[in-house]
Chains A and B, each alone.
Chain A
Amino acid sequence: MSEIFDVAVIGGGMVGSAIAYGCAIRGARTVLLDGADGSLRAARGNFGLVWSQGKGARMPAYAAWTRASLDRWTAFSEAMGSAAGQEIGYRRTGGLDFCLGDEDFQERTEEVRRLHNLVAGGPEIQMLDRAELRALLPNTPFGPNVTGASLMPDDGHANPLLLLRGLHAGLHRAGAEHRPGIAVDSIVATDGAFLITGPTGQTRAHRVVVASGLGTPRLAAQIGIEIPMRAVKGQNMVTERLPPLLPMPASALRQTAEGVIQIGVTSEEGETRTATSVNHLARMATRAVEVLPVLKQARIVRAWAAMRPMTPDGYPAYAQSALYPGAFAAVCHSGVTLSAIHASVLAEAILAGALPAEMADMHPARFEGRTDVQAH
Chain B
Amino acid sequence: MFKRTEAAGTPFAFTFDGQEVAAREGDSIAGALLAAGIVITRTTPVGQAPRGPFCMMGACFDCLAEVDGIGGVQTCLVPARPGMVVQRQIGVRDLDEADAA
Contacts and interface: CB of A to CB of B under 8 A. Distances in A.
A binds B: yes
Interface of A: 141-144, 240-243, 245, 258-259, 293-294, 296-299, 301
A242 B95 contact: yes
B92 A296 contact: no
30 contacts: A141-B97, A141-B100, A142-B101, A143-B101, A144-B101, A240-B64, A240-B72, A241-B92, A241-B93, A243-B92, A243-B93, A243-B95, A245-B95, A258-B45, A259-B45, A259-B46, A259-B92, A293-B99, A293-B100, A293-B101, A294-B95, A294-B99, A294-B100, A296-B99, A297-B70, A297-B95, A297-B99, A298-B95, A299-B72, A301-B61
Interface size for chain B: under 10, 10 to 19, 20 to 34, or 35 or more residues?
10 to 19
Chain B: interface secondary structure? loop
B49 to A, nearest CB: 13
B6 interface: no
Contacts of A144: 101
Interface in B27-78: 45-46, 61, 64, 70, 72
Chain A: interface secondary structure? loop
A242 B89 CA distance: 12
A270 B54 CA distance: 41
Contacts of A294: 95-97, 99-100
A241 B45 contact: yes
A141 B95 CA distance: 11
B17 interface: no
A146 to B, nearest CB: 8
Contacts of A297: 70, 95-96, 99
Nearest to A240: B72
A302 to B, nearest CB: 10
B24 to A, nearest CB: 27
Given A259-B45, A259-B46, A301-B61, A141 B99 contact: yes
Nearest to A296: B99
Central interface residue in A245, A296, A299, by most chain B CB within 10 Å: A299
Contacts of A301: 61
Contacts of B72: 240, 298-299
Nearest to A297: B95
Contacts of A241: 45-46, 92-93
A242 B101 contact: no
B94 interface: yes
B99 A258 contact: no
Contacts of A243: 92-95
A211 to B, nearest CB: 34
A237 B12 CA distance: 38
A143 B94 CA distance: 18
A242 B99 CA distance: 15
Given A240-B61, A259-B92, A297-B95, 17 more contacts: A141-B101, A144-B101, A240-B72, A240-B93, A241-B45, A241-B93, A242-B92, A242-B93, A243-B95, A258-B46, A259-B45, A293-B101, A294-B95, A294-B97, A294-B99, A296-B99, A298-B95
Nearest to A143: B101
Contacts of A143: 101
A297 B98 CA distance: 11
